[in-house]
């Protein structure tokens, strides 16, 4: 892997000239490296030799529901039960940052419909809001073990460019950190907005398994139309 590391993010530059991009947002307390190691597995399922992968790091900040402990967090969480109560200002600040990364990729020559956005847990909530607020037609949205954050004055209303966005949702049935009910609520909310998200559940906890990674690879393949090699055994 051609890994480029800067303070704000980790980037995997592809073997060939990049003509597509995947932006993947990590969960609370992790960092951008969290899903870098998953890309070789995904690369065995679909050709990613022209796919640039960007893994931003969330800033380090105190998190209220964790006793004020400082950790990488896309936004503060005030309470987690029964619903996540979050800092709207910080979440929208993270959305603005990811929108800037999307714009940078467009400016570099990658068409917006070949840009995919993915997020796990807290990063998934940012991914949902970013896709909704993005004025450019994205290629797809992958949300894993996550939820749609309820913001006091900023509803999840998708821009016209993404009203037909393809969405994949994956969640573990044994997830005790973000209960599957929150993922299911997100699915129903999207259906009420007219979407038909792809929904997959897995017998796992708050994590990503190889079966889920295979489904992510298949989604990437379908959305950016890149050649699929001979399937590898799991």
- 201 catalytic? Reply is no
**For residue 117, which of 93, 89, 88, 146 has the smallest C-alpha distance?**
146
Query: How far is the C-alpha of 204 from the C-alpha of 38, rounded, in Å?
Result: 17
Catalytic residue (one of 133, 175, 214, 215): 175
Q: Which two tokens stand for residue 123?
A: 């990063």
Catalytic residue (one of 121, 133, 171, 215): 121
- 121 catalytic? Reply is yes
Query: How far is the C-alpha of 77 from the C-alpha of 41, rounded, in Å?
Result: 32
Ramachandran area for residue 68 (φ above 0: left; ψ -120 to 50: alpha; else beta): left
Query: How far is the C-alpha of 114 from the C-alpha of 225, rounded, in Å?
Result: 9
Maximum Cα interatomic distance, the chain, rounded to a whole number of Å:
49
- 175 catalytic? Reply is yes
Q: Which two tokens stand for residue 14?
A: 């592809």
For residue 129, the Cα-to-chain-centroid distance in whole angstroms is 10
Catalytic residue (one of 41, 136, 154, 206): 206
| Catalytic residue ranges | 121, 175, 206
């Amino acid at each position: 892997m051609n890994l480029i590391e800067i303070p704000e993010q980790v980037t995997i530059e592809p073997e060939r000239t990049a003509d597509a991009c995947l932006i993947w947002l990590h969960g609370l307390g992790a960092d951008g490296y969290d899903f870098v190691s998953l890309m070789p597995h995904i690369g065995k399922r679909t050709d990613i030799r022209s796919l640039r992968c960007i893994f931003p790091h969330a800033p380090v900040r105190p998190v209220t529901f964790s006793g004020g402990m400082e950790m990488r967090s896309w936004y503060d969480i005030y309470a987690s039960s029964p619903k996540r109560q979050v800092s709207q200002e910080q979440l929208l600040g993270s959305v603005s940052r990811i929108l800037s990364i999307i714009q940078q990729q467009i400016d570099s020559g990658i068409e917006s419909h070949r840009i995919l956005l993915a997020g796990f847990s807290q990063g998934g909530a940012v991914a949902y809001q970013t896709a909704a607020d993005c004025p450019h037609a994205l290629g797809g949205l992958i949300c894993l073990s996550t939820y749609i954050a309820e913001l006091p004055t900023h509803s999840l209303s998708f821009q016209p460019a993404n009203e037909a966005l393809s969405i994949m949702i994956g969640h573990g049935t044994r997830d005790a950190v973000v209960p599957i009910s929150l993922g299911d609520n997100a699915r129903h909310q999207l259906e009420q907005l007219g979407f038909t998200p792809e929904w997959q559940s897995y017998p796992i906890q708050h994590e990503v398994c190889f079966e889920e990674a295979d489904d992510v690879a298949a989604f990437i393949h379908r959305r950016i139309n890149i050649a699929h090699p001979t399937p590898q055994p799991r």
